[in-house]
Homo-oligomer: A and B are copies of this chain.
Amino acid sequence: MDEPRRDSKWWGWGDPAISPKLDAEALATLRERVGELSPSPRAATLEGFELPSPEPLPPALIEAVGAAGIFTSREDRIRHATGRGYVDLARLRSGRLDAAPDAVVLPADAEAVRRVLEICAVEGVAVVPFGGGTSVVGGIEPLRGAHGRLISLDLARLRGVEVDGRSLTARLGAGLRGPEAEAALAERGVTLGHFPQSFEYATIGGFAATRSAGQASSGYGRFDALVSSVRLIAPAGELRTLETPHTAAGPALRELIVGSEGVFGIIPEVTVRVRPAPRVRRYEAWIAASFEAGAEIVRSLAQGPGLPDVIRVSDEEETRVALMLSGPRGLAGALFGGYLGLRRRRDGCLVVIGLEGEEESVARRRALSVRELRRGGAAYLGQAAGRSWEHGRFQGPYLRDTLMGMGALVETLETAHTWAKLGDLHAAVGAAIRDSLAAQGTPGLVSCHLSHAYPDGASLYFTFISRARHGEEAGQWRAVKRAASEAIVATGGTITHHHAVGRDHAPYMAAEVGREGIEVLRAVKRQLDPAGIMNPGKLIPPESTT
Protein backbone atom coordinates (compact mmCIF):
# COMPACT_ATOMS: atom_id res chain seq x y z
CA MET A 1 0.00 0.00 0.00
CA ASP A 2 2.36 2.68 -1.25
CA GLU A 3 -0.22 5.18 -2.44
CA PRO A 4 -3.73 6.21 -1.43
CA ARG A 5 -6.34 3.93 -2.98
CA ARG A 6 -7.77 5.11 -6.30
CA ASP A 7 -9.74 2.03 -7.27
CA SER A 8 -13.27 3.40 -6.97
CA LYS A 9 -15.13 6.11 -8.87
CA TRP A 10 -13.80 9.45 -7.66
CA TRP A 11 -17.24 10.99 -8.28
CA GLY A 12 -19.53 8.21 -7.06
CA TRP A 13 -19.69 4.79 -5.53
CA GLY A 14 -17.40 1.85 -5.99
CA ASP A 15 -16.16 -0.12 -8.96
CA PRO A 16 -16.42 2.00 -12.13
CA ALA A 17 -17.27 -1.15 -14.11
CA ILE A 18 -20.53 -1.65 -12.24
CA SER A 19 -23.32 0.47 -13.60
CA PRO A 20 -26.79 -0.98 -13.09
CA LYS A 21 -29.56 0.08 -15.49
CA LEU A 22 -33.29 0.24 -14.90
CA ASP A 23 -35.48 -1.69 -17.28
CA ALA A 24 -38.45 -0.13 -19.08
CA GLU A 25 -40.99 -1.29 -16.54
CA ALA A 26 -39.00 0.10 -13.64
CA LEU A 27 -38.51 3.38 -15.46
CA ALA A 28 -42.21 3.72 -16.15
CA THR A 29 -43.16 2.98 -12.57
CA LEU A 30 -40.56 5.38 -11.20
CA ARG A 31 -41.85 8.13 -13.49
CA GLU A 32 -45.37 7.42 -12.29
CA ARG A 33 -44.31 7.80 -8.69
CA VAL A 34 -41.97 10.80 -8.63
CA GLY A 35 -42.85 12.55 -11.88
CA GLU A 36 -40.77 13.19 -14.98
CA LEU A 37 -37.05 13.18 -14.24
CA SER A 38 -34.78 15.47 -16.17
CA PRO A 39 -31.44 13.75 -16.65
CA SER A 40 -28.48 15.19 -14.81
CA PRO A 41 -25.41 13.57 -16.31
CA ARG A 42 -22.17 14.18 -14.50
CA ALA A 43 -20.45 17.23 -16.02
CA ALA A 44 -17.36 17.22 -13.86
CA THR A 45 -14.02 15.84 -14.97
CA LEU A 46 -10.96 15.41 -12.81
CA GLU A 47 -9.02 17.76 -15.04
CA GLY A 48 -11.51 20.60 -14.85
CA PHE A 49 -12.40 20.16 -11.19
CA GLU A 50 -12.39 23.36 -9.12
CA LEU A 51 -10.69 23.00 -5.77
CA PRO A 52 -9.16 25.54 -3.35
CA SER A 53 -5.38 25.79 -3.54
CA PRO A 54 -3.64 23.83 -0.79
CA GLU A 55 -1.86 25.51 2.09
CA PRO A 56 1.75 24.37 2.49
CA LEU A 57 2.40 21.84 5.25
CA PRO A 58 4.76 22.50 8.17
CA PRO A 59 8.28 21.30 7.27
CA ALA A 60 8.41 19.28 10.51
CA LEU A 61 5.45 17.23 9.32
CA ILE A 62 7.00 16.56 5.93
CA GLU A 63 10.20 15.54 7.61
CA ALA A 64 8.47 13.21 10.05
CA VAL A 65 6.41 11.31 7.49
CA GLY A 66 8.78 11.53 4.54
CA ALA A 67 7.82 12.64 1.05
CA ALA A 68 6.69 9.10 0.25
CA GLY A 69 3.88 9.45 2.76
CA ILE A 70 2.43 12.76 1.56
CA PHE A 71 0.14 13.16 -1.45
CA THR A 72 -1.15 16.43 -2.82
CA SER A 73 -2.46 15.59 -6.28
CA ARG A 74 -5.84 16.98 -7.29
CA GLU A 75 -7.28 13.47 -7.48
CA ASP A 76 -6.07 12.45 -4.02
CA ARG A 77 -7.34 15.66 -2.48
CA ILE A 78 -10.77 15.24 -4.12
CA ARG A 79 -10.95 11.59 -3.05
CA HIS A 80 -10.32 12.65 0.56
CA ALA A 81 -12.57 15.72 0.54
CA THR A 82 -16.02 14.16 0.90
CA GLY A 83 -17.82 11.09 2.11
CA ARG A 84 -20.46 9.30 0.10
CA GLY A 85 -23.75 10.85 1.15
CA TYR A 86 -26.17 12.21 -1.43
CA VAL A 87 -25.03 15.81 -1.06
CA ASP A 88 -21.38 14.72 -1.26
CA LEU A 89 -22.07 13.04 -4.59
CA ALA A 90 -24.09 15.99 -5.86
CA ARG A 91 -21.13 18.26 -5.12
CA LEU A 92 -18.65 15.90 -6.76
CA ARG A 93 -20.84 15.65 -9.86
CA SER A 94 -21.01 19.45 -10.01
CA GLY A 95 -17.23 19.68 -10.48
CA ARG A 96 -16.52 22.03 -7.61
CA LEU A 97 -15.70 21.73 -3.92
CA ASP A 98 -15.32 24.65 -1.53
CA ALA A 99 -12.98 22.75 0.75
CA ALA A 100 -10.45 19.95 0.54
CA PRO A 101 -7.53 18.71 2.61
CA ASP A 102 -4.25 20.46 1.94
CA ALA A 103 -2.63 17.04 1.72
CA VAL A 104 -3.28 13.37 2.20
CA VAL A 105 -0.86 11.81 4.69
CA LEU A 106 -0.28 8.05 4.87
CA PRO A 107 1.57 7.16 8.09
CA ALA A 108 3.52 3.91 7.89
CA ASP A 109 2.54 2.63 11.31
CA ALA A 110 1.08 3.55 14.69
CA GLU A 111 4.30 5.23 15.76
CA ALA A 112 4.13 7.48 12.70
CA VAL A 113 0.52 8.31 13.59
CA ARG A 114 1.71 9.38 17.02
CA ARG A 115 4.40 11.65 15.54
CA VAL A 116 1.99 13.21 13.05
CA LEU A 117 -0.50 14.08 15.79
CA GLU A 118 2.24 15.49 17.97
CA ILE A 119 3.46 17.77 15.19
CA CYS A 120 -0.03 18.78 14.09
CA ALA A 121 -0.94 19.71 17.67
CA VAL A 122 2.14 21.94 17.94
CA GLU A 123 1.71 23.45 14.48
CA GLY A 124 -2.06 23.87 14.63
CA VAL A 125 -2.94 21.57 11.72
CA ALA A 126 -6.42 20.03 11.74
CA VAL A 127 -6.47 16.26 11.20
CA VAL A 128 -9.33 14.35 9.58
CA PRO A 129 -8.91 10.58 10.05
CA PHE A 130 -9.63 8.70 6.81
CA GLY A 131 -10.52 5.03 6.47
CA GLY A 132 -12.69 4.12 3.50
CA GLY A 133 -14.16 7.57 2.96
CA THR A 134 -17.66 6.10 2.93
CA SER A 135 -19.28 8.31 5.59
CA VAL A 136 -22.83 9.37 4.72
CA VAL A 137 -23.09 11.93 7.54
CA GLY A 138 -20.26 14.32 6.68
CA GLY A 139 -17.85 12.44 8.94
CA ILE A 140 -14.76 13.31 6.88
CA GLU A 141 -15.77 16.81 5.79
CA PRO A 142 -12.58 18.93 5.74
CA LEU A 143 -13.64 21.43 8.42
CA ARG A 144 -10.68 23.34 9.78
CA GLY A 145 -12.10 24.54 13.08
CA ALA A 146 -9.73 27.17 14.46
CA HIS A 147 -6.85 25.98 12.30
CA GLY A 148 -5.47 27.30 9.02
CA ARG A 149 -4.30 23.98 7.63
CA LEU A 150 -5.85 20.54 7.36
CA ILE A 151 -4.61 17.08 6.44
CA SER A 152 -6.50 13.90 5.71
CA LEU A 153 -4.79 11.15 7.71
CA ASP A 154 -5.32 8.05 5.58
CA LEU A 155 -4.76 4.89 7.62
CA ALA A 156 -4.46 2.58 4.62
CA ARG A 157 -1.00 1.38 5.63
CA LEU A 158 -2.12 0.08 9.04
CA ARG A 159 -2.83 -3.49 7.96
CA GLY A 160 -1.82 -5.88 10.76
CA VAL A 161 -3.72 -9.13 11.28
CA GLU A 162 -3.14 -11.35 14.34
CA VAL A 163 -5.58 -14.15 15.13
CA ASP A 164 -5.93 -15.89 18.50
CA GLY A 165 -7.62 -19.08 17.34
CA ARG A 166 -8.23 -20.33 20.84
CA SER A 167 -9.95 -17.20 22.14
CA LEU A 168 -11.46 -16.49 18.70
CA THR A 169 -10.24 -12.92 18.63
CA ALA A 170 -8.32 -11.01 15.98
CA ARG A 171 -6.29 -7.84 16.24
CA LEU A 172 -6.88 -5.96 13.01
CA GLY A 173 -5.23 -2.86 11.60
CA ALA A 174 -7.49 0.14 11.09
CA GLY A 175 -6.71 0.44 7.39
CA LEU A 176 -7.99 -2.96 6.31
CA ARG A 177 -11.08 -2.80 4.14
CA GLY A 178 -13.92 -5.21 4.85
CA PRO A 179 -12.98 -7.73 2.12
CA GLU A 180 -9.28 -7.52 3.01
CA ALA A 181 -9.98 -8.31 6.64
CA GLU A 182 -12.33 -11.14 5.71
CA ALA A 183 -9.79 -12.62 3.28
CA ALA A 184 -7.08 -12.61 5.96
CA LEU A 185 -9.45 -14.14 8.49
CA ALA A 186 -10.67 -16.76 6.01
CA GLU A 187 -7.10 -18.08 5.80
CA ARG A 188 -7.47 -18.91 9.48
CA GLY A 189 -10.95 -20.37 9.02
CA VAL A 190 -12.74 -17.56 10.80
CA THR A 191 -14.95 -14.60 9.92
CA LEU A 192 -15.90 -11.28 11.43
CA GLY A 193 -19.35 -11.48 9.83
CA HIS A 194 -19.60 -7.71 9.53
CA PHE A 195 -21.31 -6.80 6.26
CA PRO A 196 -22.64 -3.25 6.15
CA GLN A 197 -23.67 -1.95 2.73
CA SER A 198 -20.31 -0.10 2.61
CA PHE A 199 -18.43 -3.38 3.21
CA GLU A 200 -16.43 -3.31 -0.05
CA TYR A 201 -14.70 0.00 0.72
CA ALA A 202 -15.14 0.80 4.42
CA THR A 203 -12.38 -0.07 6.88
CA ILE A 204 -11.94 -1.68 10.26
CA GLY A 205 -10.97 1.63 11.87
CA GLY A 206 -14.04 3.29 10.42
CA PHE A 207 -16.31 0.50 11.61
CA ALA A 208 -15.05 1.05 15.16
CA ALA A 209 -15.03 4.84 15.06
CA THR A 210 -18.63 5.00 13.81
CA ARG A 211 -20.31 2.01 15.53
CA SER A 212 -21.09 0.42 12.21
CA ALA A 213 -23.79 -2.26 12.09
CA GLY A 214 -23.68 -4.97 9.45
CA GLN A 215 -26.62 -6.55 7.71
CA ALA A 216 -26.07 -9.71 9.74
CA SER A 217 -25.89 -7.83 13.05
CA SER A 218 -28.63 -9.95 14.62
CA GLY A 219 -26.42 -13.00 14.37
CA TYR A 220 -22.85 -11.74 14.44
CA GLY A 221 -23.39 -8.58 16.46
CA ARG A 222 -22.92 -4.95 15.58
CA PHE A 223 -19.28 -3.96 15.15
CA ASP A 224 -19.19 -2.20 18.51
CA ALA A 225 -20.41 -5.40 20.14
CA LEU A 226 -17.62 -7.35 18.41
CA VAL A 227 -14.86 -5.08 19.74
CA SER A 228 -13.15 -6.71 22.70
CA SER A 229 -10.44 -4.10 23.05
CA VAL A 230 -9.26 -0.99 21.30
CA ARG A 231 -6.33 1.37 21.13
CA LEU A 232 -6.47 5.14 20.73
CA ILE A 233 -3.60 7.41 19.80
CA ALA A 234 -4.58 10.90 20.90
CA PRO A 235 -2.55 14.07 20.70
CA ALA A 236 -2.21 14.01 24.52
CA GLY A 237 -1.29 10.35 24.85
CA GLU A 238 -2.34 6.80 24.24
CA LEU A 239 -5.20 4.69 25.56
CA ARG A 240 -5.43 0.94 25.30
CA THR A 241 -8.02 -1.27 26.93
CA LEU A 242 -7.19 -4.75 28.21
CA GLU A 243 -7.79 -7.78 26.02
CA THR A 244 -10.11 -9.49 28.44
CA PRO A 245 -13.63 -10.69 27.66
CA HIS A 246 -15.05 -8.36 30.29
CA THR A 247 -14.09 -6.15 33.18
CA ALA A 248 -15.94 -4.36 35.96
CA ALA A 249 -13.06 -1.93 36.43
CA GLY A 250 -15.08 1.25 36.22
CA PRO A 251 -16.64 3.07 33.28
CA ALA A 252 -15.99 1.28 29.98
CA LEU A 253 -13.34 3.41 28.28
CA ARG A 254 -13.57 1.02 25.33
CA GLU A 255 -17.10 2.36 24.78
CA LEU A 256 -15.78 5.91 24.92
CA ILE A 257 -13.27 5.23 22.15
CA VAL A 258 -15.60 3.17 20.00
CA GLY A 259 -17.92 5.68 18.33
CA SER A 260 -15.55 8.60 18.90
CA GLU A 261 -15.47 9.40 15.17
CA GLY A 262 -11.93 10.69 15.19
CA VAL A 263 -12.60 13.62 17.51
CA PHE A 264 -10.47 12.23 20.35
CA GLY A 265 -7.69 10.64 18.30
CA ILE A 266 -6.85 7.82 15.91
CA ILE A 267 -7.82 4.17 16.36
CA PRO A 268 -4.83 2.36 14.83
CA GLU A 269 -6.07 -1.16 15.58
CA VAL A 270 -8.97 -3.02 17.11
CA THR A 271 -9.28 -6.45 18.67
CA VAL A 272 -12.53 -8.10 17.68
CA ARG A 273 -14.34 -11.36 18.35
CA VAL A 274 -14.42 -13.64 15.32
CA ARG A 275 -16.27 -16.86 14.57
CA PRO A 276 -15.68 -20.03 12.67
CA ALA A 277 -16.46 -19.38 9.00
CA PRO A 278 -19.97 -20.68 8.29
CA ARG A 279 -20.26 -23.91 6.30
CA VAL A 280 -23.84 -23.29 5.31
CA ARG A 281 -25.55 -20.07 4.33
CA ARG A 282 -29.28 -20.15 3.79
CA TYR A 283 -31.19 -17.05 2.76
CA GLU A 284 -34.90 -17.08 2.08
CA ALA A 285 -37.80 -14.72 1.66
CA TRP A 286 -41.24 -14.63 3.20
CA ILE A 287 -44.15 -12.30 2.79
CA ALA A 288 -45.98 -10.91 5.83
CA ALA A 289 -49.47 -9.44 5.77
CA SER A 290 -48.26 -5.98 6.82
CA PHE A 291 -45.26 -4.15 8.23
CA GLU A 292 -46.79 -4.41 11.68
CA ALA A 293 -47.27 -8.15 11.29
CA GLY A 294 -43.68 -8.52 10.09
CA ALA A 295 -42.36 -6.44 12.97
CA GLU A 296 -44.36 -8.56 15.42
CA ILE A 297 -42.72 -11.69 14.05
CA VAL A 298 -39.29 -10.12 14.61
CA ARG A 299 -40.27 -9.05 18.13
CA SER A 300 -41.48 -12.55 19.03
CA LEU A 301 -38.19 -14.01 17.80
CA ALA A 302 -36.03 -11.40 19.56
CA GLN A 303 -37.93 -11.83 22.84
CA GLY A 304 -38.23 -15.59 22.48
CA PRO A 305 -36.06 -18.21 20.83
CA GLY A 306 -33.65 -15.73 19.25
CA LEU A 307 -33.16 -14.11 15.87
CA PRO A 308 -31.72 -15.60 12.71
CA ASP A 309 -28.40 -14.04 11.62
CA VAL A 310 -30.12 -11.71 9.17
CA ILE A 311 -33.68 -10.54 9.44
CA ARG A 312 -35.26 -7.62 7.65
CA VAL A 313 -38.81 -6.58 7.07
CA SER A 314 -39.63 -4.11 4.30
CA ASP A 315 -42.67 -1.94 4.70
CA GLU A 316 -45.40 -1.94 2.05
CA GLU A 317 -43.75 0.85 0.09
CA GLU A 318 -40.28 -0.70 0.17
CA THR A 319 -41.70 -4.04 -0.89
CA ARG A 320 -43.22 -2.39 -3.95
CA VAL A 321 -40.08 -0.34 -4.66
CA ALA A 322 -37.88 -3.41 -4.34
CA LEU A 323 -39.94 -5.13 -6.99
CA MET A 324 -40.12 -2.07 -9.20
CA LEU A 325 -36.52 -0.88 -9.17
CA SER A 326 -34.39 -3.90 -8.81
CA GLY A 327 -34.48 -4.77 -12.49
CA PRO A 328 -33.84 -8.03 -14.23
CA ARG A 329 -30.73 -8.93 -12.21
CA GLY A 330 -32.30 -7.94 -8.93
CA LEU A 331 -34.96 -9.14 -6.63
CA ALA A 332 -37.85 -8.72 -9.00
CA GLY A 333 -36.45 -11.06 -11.59
CA ALA A 334 -35.82 -13.78 -9.08
CA LEU A 335 -38.95 -13.17 -7.16
CA PHE A 336 -41.69 -12.48 -9.63
CA GLY A 337 -42.63 -16.08 -10.21
CA GLY A 338 -43.34 -16.78 -6.59
CA TYR A 339 -44.66 -13.35 -5.93
CA LEU A 340 -47.17 -13.36 -8.76
CA GLY A 341 -48.39 -16.63 -7.41
CA LEU A 342 -49.34 -14.75 -4.26
CA ARG A 343 -51.50 -12.12 -5.88
CA ARG A 344 -53.85 -11.97 -2.95
CA ARG A 345 -50.89 -10.74 -0.86
CA ARG A 346 -49.57 -8.18 -3.28
CA ASP A 347 -49.81 -5.53 -0.60
CA GLY A 348 -47.81 -7.62 1.81
CA CYS A 349 -44.35 -6.97 3.16
CA LEU A 350 -41.17 -8.72 2.20
CA VAL A 351 -39.29 -10.50 4.98
CA VAL A 352 -35.77 -11.79 4.33
CA ILE A 353 -34.07 -14.11 6.78
CA GLY A 354 -30.54 -15.45 6.63
CA LEU A 355 -28.95 -18.24 8.63
CA GLU A 356 -25.28 -19.10 8.65
CA GLY A 357 -23.19 -21.68 10.45
CA GLU A 358 -22.95 -25.43 10.80
CA GLU A 359 -25.63 -27.34 8.94
CA GLU A 360 -27.26 -28.60 12.11
CA SER A 361 -27.28 -25.15 13.73
CA VAL A 362 -28.81 -23.57 10.63
CA ALA A 363 -31.53 -26.22 10.52
CA ARG A 364 -32.28 -25.92 14.22
CA ARG A 365 -32.46 -22.13 14.25
CA ARG A 366 -34.37 -22.00 10.99
CA ALA A 367 -37.06 -24.22 12.49
CA LEU A 368 -37.52 -21.72 15.32
CA SER A 369 -37.76 -18.82 12.87
CA VAL A 370 -40.17 -20.65 10.59
CA ARG A 371 -42.45 -21.44 13.51
CA GLU A 372 -42.72 -17.75 14.42
CA LEU A 373 -43.08 -16.69 10.77
CA ARG A 374 -46.00 -19.09 10.31
CA ARG A 375 -47.55 -18.12 13.64
CA GLY A 376 -47.36 -14.51 12.46
CA GLY A 377 -49.18 -15.36 9.26
CA ALA A 378 -46.25 -15.02 6.84
CA ALA A 379 -46.06 -17.05 3.63
CA TYR A 380 -42.91 -18.66 2.26
CA LEU A 381 -41.52 -17.25 -0.98
CA GLY A 382 -38.50 -19.49 -1.33
CA GLN A 383 -34.73 -19.36 -1.31
CA ALA A 384 -34.30 -17.78 -4.73
CA ALA A 385 -35.70 -14.49 -3.54
CA GLY A 386 -33.57 -14.63 -0.40
CA ARG A 387 -30.42 -15.37 -2.36
CA SER A 388 -31.30 -12.57 -4.71
CA TRP A 389 -31.37 -10.15 -1.79
CA GLU A 390 -28.08 -11.53 -0.53
CA HIS A 391 -26.41 -11.16 -3.92
CA GLY A 392 -27.65 -7.61 -4.26
CA ARG A 393 -26.84 -6.57 -0.71
CA PHE A 394 -23.99 -4.21 -1.67
CA GLN A 395 -25.67 -2.89 -4.83
CA GLY A 396 -27.73 -0.05 -3.40
CA PRO A 397 -25.04 2.65 -3.71
CA TYR A 398 -24.36 1.68 -7.34
CA LEU A 399 -28.03 2.10 -8.17
CA ARG A 400 -27.91 5.51 -6.50
CA ASP A 401 -25.33 6.69 -9.06
CA THR A 402 -27.65 5.53 -11.85
CA LEU A 403 -30.63 7.32 -10.34
CA MET A 404 -28.67 10.53 -9.70
CA GLY A 405 -27.62 10.53 -13.35
CA MET A 406 -31.30 10.29 -14.23
CA GLY A 407 -32.00 13.39 -12.16
CA ALA A 408 -33.16 11.88 -8.89
CA LEU A 409 -32.52 12.71 -5.27
CA VAL A 410 -31.76 9.42 -3.45
CA GLU A 411 -31.00 9.31 0.24
CA THR A 412 -31.25 7.05 3.27
CA LEU A 413 -31.42 7.64 7.01
CA GLU A 414 -31.89 5.41 10.00
CA THR A 415 -33.06 5.46 13.60
CA ALA A 416 -34.17 3.05 16.34
CA HIS A 417 -36.62 2.85 19.19
CA THR A 418 -38.27 0.46 21.60
CA TRP A 419 -40.97 -1.89 20.31
CA ALA A 420 -43.60 0.16 22.11
CA LYS A 421 -42.68 3.27 20.10
CA LEU A 422 -41.57 1.74 16.79
CA GLY A 423 -44.92 2.14 15.04
CA ASP A 424 -45.12 5.81 16.00
CA LEU A 425 -41.57 6.36 14.80
CA HIS A 426 -42.26 4.66 11.46
CA ALA A 427 -45.34 6.79 10.90
CA ALA A 428 -43.83 10.08 12.06
CA VAL A 429 -40.57 9.90 10.14
CA GLY A 430 -42.21 8.61 6.97
CA ALA A 431 -44.75 11.44 7.08
CA ALA A 432 -42.08 14.04 7.75
CA ILE A 433 -40.06 12.97 4.71
CA ARG A 434 -43.11 12.72 2.44
CA ASP A 435 -44.47 16.08 3.58
CA SER A 436 -41.16 17.86 3.19
CA LEU A 437 -40.64 16.48 -0.32
CA ALA A 438 -44.20 17.33 -1.33
CA ALA A 439 -43.93 20.84 0.10
CA GLN A 440 -40.91 21.41 -2.13
CA GLY A 441 -42.85 20.34 -5.19
CA THR A 442 -40.92 17.10 -5.54
CA PRO A 443 -43.15 14.34 -4.17
CA GLY A 444 -41.23 11.23 -3.35
CA LEU A 445 -41.17 7.56 -2.75
CA VAL A 446 -40.53 6.97 0.93
CA SER A 447 -39.81 3.41 1.97
CA CYS A 448 -38.52 1.76 5.10
CA HIS A 449 -37.23 -1.48 6.50
CA LEU A 450 -36.52 -2.91 9.90
CA SER A 451 -33.12 -4.59 9.83
CA HIS A 452 -31.48 -4.64 13.26
CA ALA A 453 -33.53 -6.07 16.07
CA TYR A 454 -33.09 -6.44 19.82
CA PRO A 455 -35.24 -7.82 22.62
CA ASP A 456 -36.32 -4.27 23.46
CA GLY A 457 -36.65 -2.67 20.04
CA ALA A 458 -35.38 -2.34 16.51
CA SER A 459 -33.91 0.00 13.92
CA LEU A 460 -35.78 1.60 11.04
CA TYR A 461 -33.98 2.42 7.80
CA PHE A 462 -35.66 4.86 5.42
CA THR A 463 -34.89 5.28 1.73
CA PHE A 464 -36.39 8.13 -0.25
CA ILE A 465 -36.34 9.09 -3.91
CA SER A 466 -37.69 12.17 -5.63
CA ARG A 467 -36.86 14.51 -8.45
CA ALA A 468 -33.71 16.49 -7.67
CA ARG A 469 -33.89 20.26 -7.79
CA HIS A 470 -30.94 20.84 -10.06
CA GLY A 471 -28.44 23.30 -8.66
CA GLU A 472 -30.32 23.30 -5.35
CA GLU A 473 -29.63 19.75 -4.31
CA ALA A 474 -28.13 20.66 -0.95
CA GLY A 475 -31.00 22.95 0.07
CA GLN A 476 -33.62 20.44 -1.01
CA TRP A 477 -31.87 17.67 0.91
CA ARG A 478 -31.34 19.85 3.98
CA ALA A 479 -35.05 20.58 4.31
CA VAL A 480 -35.95 16.88 4.19
CA LYS A 481 -33.15 15.92 6.55
CA ARG A 482 -34.24 18.53 9.07
CA ALA A 483 -37.87 17.43 8.92
CA ALA A 484 -36.94 13.78 9.39
CA SER A 485 -34.50 14.52 12.20
CA GLU A 486 -37.01 16.66 14.07
CA ALA A 487 -39.61 13.90 13.75
CA ILE A 488 -37.11 11.40 15.17
CA VAL A 489 -36.28 13.67 18.10
CA ALA A 490 -39.95 14.43 18.78
CA THR A 491 -40.71 10.70 18.94
CA GLY A 492 -37.76 10.00 21.26
CA GLY A 493 -35.87 7.81 18.80
CA THR A 494 -32.13 7.97 18.31
CA ILE A 495 -30.79 10.28 15.63
CA THR A 496 -28.71 7.40 14.28
CA HIS A 497 -28.70 3.64 14.68
CA HIS A 498 -25.52 3.00 12.68
CA HIS A 499 -24.61 5.87 10.35
CA ALA A 500 -22.98 7.80 13.22
CA VAL A 501 -23.09 11.53 13.95
CA GLY A 502 -20.49 13.26 11.78
CA ARG A 503 -21.40 16.79 10.84
CA ASP A 504 -25.01 16.15 9.82
CA HIS A 505 -26.29 14.80 13.14
CA ALA A 506 -24.19 16.97 15.46
CA PRO A 507 -27.01 19.52 15.87
CA TYR A 508 -29.16 16.75 17.37
CA MET A 509 -26.66 15.55 19.96
CA ALA A 510 -28.22 17.74 22.64
CA ALA A 511 -31.49 15.88 22.11
CA GLU A 512 -29.61 12.60 22.24
CA VAL A 513 -27.35 13.01 25.29
CA GLY A 514 -28.44 16.31 26.82
CA ARG A 515 -26.39 19.41 27.48
CA GLU A 516 -24.46 17.78 30.28
CA GLY A 517 -23.68 14.82 28.01
CA ILE A 518 -22.16 17.19 25.49
CA GLU A 519 -20.13 18.85 28.25
CA VAL A 520 -18.77 15.43 29.22
CA LEU A 521 -17.73 14.76 25.62
CA ARG A 522 -16.07 18.19 25.51
CA ALA A 523 -14.23 17.47 28.75
CA VAL A 524 -12.88 14.20 27.35
CA LYS A 525 -11.86 15.99 24.16
CA ARG A 526 -10.06 18.74 26.08
CA GLN A 527 -8.12 16.04 27.91
CA LEU A 528 -7.17 13.99 24.85
CA ASP A 529 -6.96 16.73 22.21
CA PRO A 530 -6.24 20.01 24.01
CA ALA A 531 -5.34 21.82 20.76
CA GLY A 532 -8.63 20.76 19.16
CA ILE A 533 -7.01 19.43 16.00
CA MET A 534 -8.92 16.14 15.75
CA ASN A 535 -11.74 16.11 13.19
CA PRO A 536 -13.17 19.55 14.01
CA GLY A 537 -16.90 20.10 13.66
CA LYS A 538 -17.89 16.44 13.94
CA LEU A 539 -19.86 14.64 16.65
CA ILE A 540 -19.68 17.41 19.25
CA PRO A 541 -21.74 20.48 18.36
CA PRO A 542 -19.93 23.86 18.45
CA GLU A 543 -20.03 25.70 21.81
CA SER A 544 -22.17 28.48 20.40
CA THR A 545 -25.09 26.19 19.62
CA THR A 546 -25.77 24.59 23.00
Binding site for B on A (CB under 8 A): 164, 166-169, 210-213, 222, 224, 228, 234, 236-261, 273, 275-276, 299, 303, 305, 361, 364, 416-421, 452, 454-459, 492-501, 505, 508-509, 512-517, 519-524, 526-528, 539-540
Q: How far is the CA of A317 from the CA of B261 in the complex (A)?
A: 48
Which residues in B have their C-beta under 8 angstroms from that of A164? 418, 420
Top-8 shortest CB links A-B: A245-B457, A255-B255, A167-B418, A211-B248, A523-B527, A247-B494, A245-B454, A237-B516
A–B complex contacts, Cβ < 8 Å, 19 sampled = A166-B419, A167-B456, A169-B456, A210-B248, A228-B456, A242-B494, A244-B494, A245-B459, A246-B452, A246-B454, A247-B496, A248-B259, A248-B500, A249-B505, A249-B508, A250-B500, A252-B258, A275-B455, A276-B303
Q: How far is the CB of A335 from chain B (nearest CB, A)?
A: 30
Instruction: List, in ascending order, chain B residues with CB within 8 A of A210's CB.
Output: 248
Instruction: State the CA gap A417–B164 with chains docked (Å).
Output: 13
Given A168-B455, A245-B417, A247-B494, 16 extra CB contacts under 8 A: A167-B418, A168-B456, A211-B248, A237-B516, A241-B517, A242-B492, A242-B494, A244-B418, A246-B416, A246-B457, A247-B416, A249-B505, A250-B540, A251-B258, A273-B456, A524-B524
Question: CA–CA, A426 to B166, complex, Å?
Answer: 17
A213 to B528, CA, bound (A): 31
A299 to B419, CA, bound (A): 34
Q: How far is the CB of A242 from chain B (nearest CB, A)?
A: 6
Determine the distance from Cα of A200 to Cα of B48 in the docked complex, in whole angstroms.
74
| Residue from A213, A242, A250, A459 having most chain B Cβ neighbours under 10 A | A250
Closest beta carbon of chain B to A530's beta carbon, Å? 10
Write the chain B residue with the least CB distance to A232: B516
- How many angstroms from the CA of A224 to the CA of B254 in the assembled complex? 14
**Separation in Å of the A265 CB from the closest CB of chain B?**
10
B236 and A516 within 8 A (CB)? yes
Give the shortest distance, in Å, between A331 (CB) and chain B (any CB).
27
Q: Which residues from chain B contact A242 at a C-beta distance below 8 Å?
A: 492-494, 512-513
Q: Is the CB of B526 within 8 A of A523?
A: yes
Q: Which residues of B contact A252 (CB under 8 A)?
A: 224, 252, 255-256, 258-259
Of chain B, the residue at the smallest CB distance from A306 is B306
> Copy number in this complex?
2
- The residue from B213, B237, B245, B459 contacting A418, defined by CB atoms under 8 A apart: B245
Cα–Cα distance between A500 and B249 once the two chains are bound (Å): 5
B456 touches A520 (CB 8 A): no
A273 contacts across to B, CB distance below 8 A: 455-456
For the complex, give the distance between the alpha carbons of A240 and B237 in Å: 29
Contact in complex: A514, B239 (CB < 8 Å): yes
Kindly report which residue of chain B lies nearest to residue A508, judged by CB atoms.
Answer: B249
B residues near A517, Cβ cutoff 8 Å = 239, 241, 253
Report whether B244 and A251 are in contact in the complex, using a CB–CB cutoff of 8 Å: no
Residues of B contacting A305 in the complex (Cβ-Cβ under 8 angstroms)? 361
In the bound complex, what is the Cα–Cα distance between A247 and B492 (angstroms)? 12
Query: Are the C-beta atoms of A420 and B495 separated by less than 8 Å?
Result: no
- Also in contact, A250 and B260, with CB within 8 A (given A168-B455, A273-B456, A454-B245): yes
Question: How many angstroms between the C-alpha atoms of A496 and B246 in the bound complex?
Answer: 9
Enumerate chain B residues within 8 angstroms of A512, measured Cβ to Cβ. 242, 247, 249-250
Contact A239 B516 (CB under 8 A): yes
Whether B241 contacts A496 by the Cβ 8 Å rule is no
**How far, in Å, is A488 (CB) from chain B's closest CB?**
10
Taken together as a complex, chains A and B put the C-alpha atoms of A505 and B522 apart, in Å, by 28
Are B256 and A256 in contact, CB atoms less than 8 angstroms apart? yes
Within 8 Å CB of A248, what residues of B?
210-213, 224, 259, 494, 496-501
CB distance from A99 to the nearest CB of B (A): 23
Q: Which residue of B lies closest to A212 (CB)?
A: B248
Q: Are A520's CB and B516's CB within 8 A?
A: no
B239 lies within 8 A of A520 (CB): yes
Report the Cα distance A295→B299, complex, angstroms.
Answer: 34
Chain B residues closer than 8 Å to A224, beta-carbon distance: 248, 252
Query: Once the chains are docked, how many angstroms separate the CA of A419 from the CA of B261?
Result: 31
| CA–CA, A229 and B514, complex, Å | 13
A167 contact set on B, CB distance < 8 A: 418-421, 456-457
Q: Judging by beta carbons under 8 Å apart, are A497 and B454 in contact?
A: no
Residues of B within 8 A of A238 (CB): 514, 516
| Contact present for B250 and A222 (CB under 8 Å) | no
**A514 to B240, Cβ gap below 8 A?**
yes
A227 to B63, CA, bound (A): 49
Residues of B within 8 A of A505 (CB): 249
Which residues of chain B are near A494, meaning CB under 8 Å? 242, 244, 246-249
Contact residue among B243, B492, B540 (Cβ-Cβ distance under 8 Å from A492) = B243
How many angstroms between the C-alpha atoms of A224 and B225 in the bound complex?
13
A364 to chain B, nearest CB (A): 8
CB distance from A219 to the nearest CB of B (A): 12
Partner of A515, one of B237, B303, B492: B237
